[in-house]
Amino acid sequence: AQKITQTQPGMFVQEKEAVTLDCTYDTSDQSYGLFWYKQPSSGEMIFLIYQGSYDEQNATEGRYSLNFQKARKSANLVISASQLGDSAMYFCAMREDSNYQLIWGAGTKLIIKP
């Protein structure tokens, strides 16, 4: 069974609009962390934001915020005021504290239109 599900293979968004990228996860661990990474066409993997399972407040990093709904097991990434440079592949990932691995979603390809 998929542990991380990103239901949007691709998205087109108008520049300056807000974007929500979906991510749902499945784990029986009580302690885990959720990550979002951005991978532009150049290939590097850029850390965006992290949410711990015990964090009561949603994580925010600049224009990025994570809409964490623990009961629903969702960790959607919200990008406010999108920019052309936001065009990239976005991966949601989870790390269960019982091991060191990151479990990845299939990614969402985001294209920002001018």
- Taking CB under 8 A as the rule, does residue 33 contact another protein? yes
Do residues 77 and 61 make contact, with C-beta atoms less than 8 angstroms apart?
A: no
- Taking CB under 8 A as the rule, does residue 106 contact another protein? yes
- Count CB atoms within 10 A of the CB of residue 5: 16
Choose one: 22-30, 42-50, 63-71, 76-84; the region binding another protein (CB under 8 A): 42-50
- Taking CB under 8 A as the rule, does residue 43 contact another protein? yes
3-state secondary structure of 36: strand
- Of the pair 16, 70, the CB lying nearest another protein is at 70
Among candidate residues 72, 82, 69, the one with its CA nearest the CA of residue 111: 82
> What does the block give as tokens for 70?
């623990």
The least CB distance from residue 55 to another protein, in Å, is 10
Q: Which of 18, 45, 84, 111 binds another protein (CB under 8 A)?
A: 45
- Taking CB under 8 A as the rule, does residue 91 contact another protein? yes
> What does the block give as tokens for 21?
């990228």
